[in-house]
Amino acid sequence: MTADSTDAGDEQPATDGGAAAVVDESPEFATDGATATDLVERGGLRDTVRGTVEVAAREYRLAVRRRWAVGAAVVFALFSVALVVLGGSEVGPTRVGAVLASFAQVGVYVVPLVALAAGYDAIVGADESGSLEMLLALPLSNLSVVVGKYAGRAAAVGGGMLVGFAVGGALLVRYAGVGVVGAYAWVALVAVAAALAFLGVGVLASALASEKTRALGAALAAWVWFVLVHDLVALGAVASFDLPQWVVSVAVFANPADLFRVLVLRTVSTTAGGIAGVLTGAGLSQGVLLAALAAWILVPVTGAVAALGRRSV
């Protein structure tokens, strides 16, 4: 046997030596006491993360190409500038709270609409175009596909929102001074977090729908419920019955739009009426509210992963 053949034999000792091949390909794991199961789990985790990042990068490029990032930047630049201008050019320390509160009162309509519009075709649109079948034909898990698509669109929409809010923030600083930067940045970040929650709802609707038109209808129905109907029902129940405090807290947790509104209104020196005033007085800590908003991001995306697993592609 020659040296060349000996080297070749060392690199590939046998065609049926699966375990030996794994050790050769991952020598760094050979001496750390890991079992074969540990090696498979580590490799699976790396593959999942790598696949998720690749899908997210692809989805982000598509979102940018479709002008989602630019559209979000324009919408929220106009939105923030309009609220600052309508608040009056004589905005001072005593008026900043009212101006920031208006972001919660008006933004509760705009933020969910933009996010749902960005997410409703994430899965069903890819299914109709054939790209979903192509992705699933690759060595990608359902988790990588759904989370990647969500993360890519979240980066595009969230980045666009921050750029748009920065335009309005610059104008507000001109009127009220740099002391307002902290409070305004909090409002912008909470708005982005709420958008991520509604984006997750849109992706879930997309994974459950069999057609894009049905996904759009579900997204619009979700907007109507969370933005309009839920608050009317909650306010009617609070006004008609002597409800315990925990019921009001549940009403807040059940709606990401209310979580956004309460998180903003709790940080500004102003009073709110109607359902906003009721929810703000629910006595919930900021940490609990943020945890609930995070749950509204995680639960719909998890549901979308499960729905994709049952979907016929």
Q: How far apart are CA 243 and CA 98, in angstroms?
A: 29
Q: Residue ranges of the domains in the chain?
A: 52-265+274-301+305-309
Q: How far apart are CA 35 and CA 19, in angstroms?
A: 11
Question: CA dihedral defined by 59, 60, 66, 71, rounded to 10 degrees?
Answer: 140
Residue among 206, 184, 189, 226 nearest 303 (CA): 206
Angle among Cα 178, 184, 186 to the nearest 5 degrees reads 125
Tens of pLDDT along the chain (313 residues) come to 444 444 444 444 444 444 333 333 333 333 344 443 443 344 578 888 999 999 999 999 999 898 888 999 999 999 999 988 887 555 555 577 788 888 888 899 999 999 999 999 999 999 999 999 999 888 889 999 999 999 999 999 999 999 999 999 999 988 888 888 999 999 999 999 999 999 999 999 999 999 999 999 999 999 999 999 998 888 888 778 777 777 878 888 999 998 998 888 887 755 555 555 666 555 678 899 999 999 999 999 999 999 999 887 6
